[in-house]
Every structure is written in structure tokens, then in C-alpha cells.
Amino acid sequence: MKRVVQILIIAIVVIGGLVDGAPSDTTRTLLKDKINNVPSSAIYGLEDTYGNTMDCAKIIQTFDTDVTKRYVAVYHYPWGGNYKVGIAKSSNLTTWQQTSLLEFGSSQANIMRLSDGRYLMAWEQTYSSGNRIRLRYFLSLTDLLADHSDDWIEISIPSWVESGKAIGTPNIYTITGYSGNIYSSVLYVGAHYGSSNHDRQTSFKVTNFNKNQVEWLRNPNTYWPSIEDSVLYWLIPQQTSSSDGPGNVGGRDSFAYNGYQFALIEGNPWGTGTDSEDFKHWQSFLYDRQTLNSDKLQLVTSCGATSYANPHVTLLNDPNNVFVILLTFFIPTESVGCDAGTLLYWVPL
Ligand SMILES: *[C@@H]1O[C@H](CO)[C@@H](O)[C@H](O)[C@H]1NC(C)=O
């Protein structure tokens, strides 16, 4: 009898395991639902107070006592045939006052606040020979807002990248070993690289903020394993022409919730015939570092956007001190429905 009960319990546990799947599944599903249901309070076509578009904005909380600097955004907008990255501050996530600008040809910035209130920024800098990633280190929020960096490095394009192809859309996964000295730390950065087979995923490790101590980690052995494969899983079946690759796997941003690690990442199927058709279908995915799989997001926007790219995500306290997941997506001009621009919204967790 006791043995039968034991077997029954084992059977229930096994079946339960099959139904519930991995431990992170419930959390991932909850996050997916919150991200998909874009609230009516969402801001479309985000702009700073000068009227510059805030393309691909990454927003973080500063914890500064001055409420006018409670949040910082880094973003880019068109400038002289290229782009420039802007830095802006806000007290309420809605009104953004630009405080400085990066160099001509900068775009796709990301920002991280370090444990001691210093900051790291990463972005993509234009080169005719293929864009490269630059990293900047700031000693304080004041320095960040003024773009007065203490040091900066540029990451050389590794030899395995085809000539003329870019490295871009950096995100800062994490920094380890840091206790106030950037020259004694290990930084993990995610990026995409261009290839004749479209954009693919890579990541790299920078030791002691030294451009000569860079180690590349490529798919499937990226810092977040198989993140590229998890997106190709969705893109390959959507491919309409076998003569072309299955599309781009591009920008990403990572976060942790409930003790689990996730990333949002963009991808677009390819081979519909024209670039504009392909760009009409930029999709974003929720990658689960525990299961190494991605779920496809299905954003429900008031204007019915068919395309939402360049996901950025931060968990922070909103202006009412509610803990929220804050998201931005870039809606490209090719999208049907919504006008092009950055979509910003936040949802209580
Ligand atoms: C946000 O703050 C600005 C002042 O910095 C103010 O003009 C604006 O009305 C505020 N917006 C909201 C939605 O609270």
C-alpha cells in the first residue's frame, strides 16, 4: 500500500512536471501577458522637450535625491544623414529634458547604473568600414548627464566578421568583480554582428575595461546561451524564400525577475521579396535563460502595429513608486497601423 502511494505520488509529480514545464514557465508567461497587453496610457512617438524623436530609448532609474533627475534615457535621432545619441532626464517618465549629445554617428545606446551610482554606457558608432561599439564610464550622474566620461574604449571588429560588416546594438548584460574600480572588473556585453547571412548574435567580455582584453562569445556559446537559436526557431518557419537567410536577429536587453533571468530580443523573417515587406514584420521575443527558449510576443497596441523592434526593458519604481516593468519598442515606418517612433509603457509587476 505504502509503495503504491509512493508510485502514485511519483506519477503525479512527473505528470505535474510535464504540465507545468520548467520552473520559470509561470513567471515567463506572466511577463509575456503583461508585455503583450499594452495599456491605454502608453506613449507613442516618444519625444524629448526639443521635439527630437527618442528612437530606441533605454530608460533607467537613478535613485538621485533630485527628483528632476529621477530617470535617465539614452536614445538617438536623425542628424545630418546619420544619428546622434541624446541623454535626457525626467521626473515622471513622460517629459524628457535633453542634457547632452554624443558624437555624430552615434546610435543604439544602452546604459547601466553600477552599484555605487557610477554609470556605463554602450553604443554603436558609425564607420564606413562597419560600425563598432564604444563604451563610456562615468563617475557620477552629473557627469553622465553632461557626457563627461572618465574613460572610454572602442571595441575593434574581430577578424571573423566579414569585411565591411558591423557590430552593433550593444546591451550590458552584467558586470562582475566591480567594487568602485572599473580597471578591476569583468563586463559582459551583448551585440549583433552583420554577415552575408543577415544579423546574428554575439557577446563579448571586457576585462579591466581594457580594449586589449576582449574575449568574444558567439552563438550558441554567447553569454546568454543559444539566444540566437531561440529566435531562429520562430523565424525559419516564416521564411518564404529559401534562397535567402531566415532573417535578422538583432538588438536585445536583459533583466531578472523572481530569481529568473530573461531578455527581450528582436528578429525579423526575411525573403518576402522586398525590404519594406520584411521590415513590416519585425518581431520581439521573450528569451528565458533557464530554458534557453523564446516566446514570441504579440503586442496588442491601440493602432495595431504589425512591427515592433529594438526592445528595451527595465524594472523600476514608477513616479507613483509602484514597481513596474517598463518597456520601449521602436515601431518602424514600414509597420502597418501605428506611426513610426518609440512606444513607451509600464505595467505593475
Ligand atoms: C512631468 O513633469 C513635467 C515637468 O518636469 C510636467 O510639465 C508634466 O506635466 C509632467 N507630466 C506628467 C504626466 O505628470
Give the three cell numbers for residue 115. Answer: 552599484
Alpha helices in the chain (DSSP H): 2-20, 25-36, 141-146, 227-235, 275-279
Residue 6 lies in a domain: no
Say what the pLDDT of residue 205 is.
Answer: 98
Residue 339 lies in a domain: yes
User: What's the 93 CA to ligand 1 centre distance in angstroms?
Assistant: 8
Residue 171 lies in a domain: yes
What is the CB-side half-sphere exposure of residue 16 using CA atoms within 13 A? 7
In this structure, which amino acid lies at residue 63?
F
Residue 3 lies in a domain: no
Name which of 266, 330, 337, 274 is nearest 303 in CA terms: 337
Say what the pLDDT of residue 14 is.
Answer: 43
Alpha helices in 161-201 (DSSP H): none
pLDDT in tens, 311-322: 999 999 999 999
Ligand 1 atom, smallest distance to 92 CA:
1
Mean pLDDT taken over the chain:
92
Contact 299, 307 (CB under 8 A): no
CB of 97 within 6 A of ligand 1: the answer is: no
The CATH code of the domain that includes 74 is 2.115.10.20
The number of domains in the chain is 1
Contact 325, 347 (CB under 8 A): yes
Nearest CA to ligand 1 atom 13: 94
Per-residue confidence at 18, pLDDT binned at 50, 70, 90?
very low
Model pTM? 0.93
pLDDT in tens, 185-226: 999 999 999 998 789 999 999 999 999 999 999 999 999 999
Sheet of strand 200-207: strand arrangement: 167-176, 186-193, 200-207, 214-218
Residue 190 lies in a domain: yes
User: What's the 321 CA to ligand 1 centre distance in angstroms?
Assistant: 16
d(CA 263, CA 191): 13
Residue 336 lies in a domain: yes
Domain carrying residue 53: 24-348
Give the three cell numbers for residue 187. Answer: 563586463
CB of 41 within 6 A of ligand 1: the answer is: no
pLDDT in tens, 36-52: 999 999 999 999 999 99
Say what the pLDDT of residue 2 is.
Answer: 47
Per-residue confidence at 10, pLDDT binned at 50, 70, 90?
very low
Which of 70, 89, 94 to probe ligand 1 with, by most ligand atoms within 8 A of CB? 94
Residue 1 lies in a domain: no
Ligand 1 atom, smallest distance to 97 CA:
5
Per-residue confidence at 278, pLDDT binned at 50, 70, 90?
confident
